[in-house]
Amino acid sequence: MVSEKEPTTPKSTLSEKAYKAIKREILQGKIEEGTFLLEADVRKRHGIGRTPFREACNRLHHEGILQVVPRRGYLVPEMSFRDVRDMFDARLILEGVIAELAAARATPAQVAELERLAMQAPSAQISSDDYEELSNANTEFHVCLAQMTQNRELVKLVTDILERNERLSYMELRSSRVQSSEIQMLHWPNSETGSGRR
């Protein structure tokens, strides 16, 4: 006699859930720099098992968001001055190339979508409560711009840099070392690109 089993959530789905949850907590600073992930706490907080947790952490390790320390676990590395400099150098170069390619390759529908997103640019008054909304809007705008190049590799590169930029901006917001208008500039440097090139 074959016993009936209750349906279970696919392991890949649980791993993806763990990956997104842990990554978001790191980017938003809820898991601070220089600290190790507490496996039991993370698993309990998000309702995930050991295998999805480790698969998610290994994926984040390959992305450079976590470091593996033998016999200690997974560490959230501190962001150095060089990390920040390299990130912004790369972003400046990428955004220049993307703007040129987008101007040459964008479809009318993509230009219209970019203009719609640009019109939604947030005000300079940014609080920690609405910062995630700003971050999401920023990502949507810049990914849209990258998609206008019709180059999938550029879209991947921009997405990666935006995620690391998000982590830096959350750090600055929490430490109150910059004004809200300066935080906005980190997220909205190209708001005139789409409307200025047709």
Q: Which fold has domain 11-75?
A: Arc Repressor Mutant, subunit A (1.10.10)
Read off the pTM: 0.66
Tell me what pLDDT residue 126 has. Answer: 54
Local structure of 173: helix, strand or coil = helix
β-sheet bridge partners, residue 73: 69
Q: 81-196 maps to which CATH number?
A: 1.20.120
Confidence of residue 7 (pLDDT cuts 50, 70, 90): very low
Tell me what pLDDT residue 11 has. Answer: 54
Local structure of 67: helix, strand or coil = strand
At 176-190, the pLDDT tens digits run 444 444 444 444 444
At 148-162, the pLDDT tens digits run 999 999 999 999 888
Rounded CA Rg of the chain: 19
Structure-token pair, residue 133: 């909304």
β-sheet bridge partners, residue 57: none
In the block, residue with structure tokens 């101007």: 103
Domain boundaries, the chain: 11-75, 81-196
Q: Distance between CA 137 and CA 11 in Å, rounded?
A: 31
Q: Distance between CA 92 and CA 95 in Å, rounded?
A: 5
